[in-house]
């Protein structure tokens, strides 16, 4: 995962998140995916 391209994470009302890239593209993430991102951010 290339975290340098991530602009922000936006929470949704269902406990999921939307990841917004620097280029404006948006992707929905499940709770399981969010755990992976959180783990990756701890090592930065």
- In this structure, the number of other CB atoms found within 10 A of the CB of residue 35 comes to 11
Q: What is the DSSP letter of 15?
A: S
Coil vs helix vs strand at 12: coil
Average pLDDT, the chain: 81
pTM of the model: 0.63
Instruction: Report the pLDDT value the prediction gives residue 22, as an integer from 0 to 100.
Output: 92
**pLDDT tens per residue across span 34-44:** 777 777 777 65
Q: Report d(CA 26, CA 43) in Å as an integer.
A: 24
């Amino acid at each position: 995962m290339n975290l340098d391209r991530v602009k922000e994470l936006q929470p949704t009302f269902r406990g999921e998140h939307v990841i917004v890239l620097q280029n404006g593209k948006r992707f929905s993430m499940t709770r399981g995916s969010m755990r992976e991102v959180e783990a990756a951010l701890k090592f930065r």
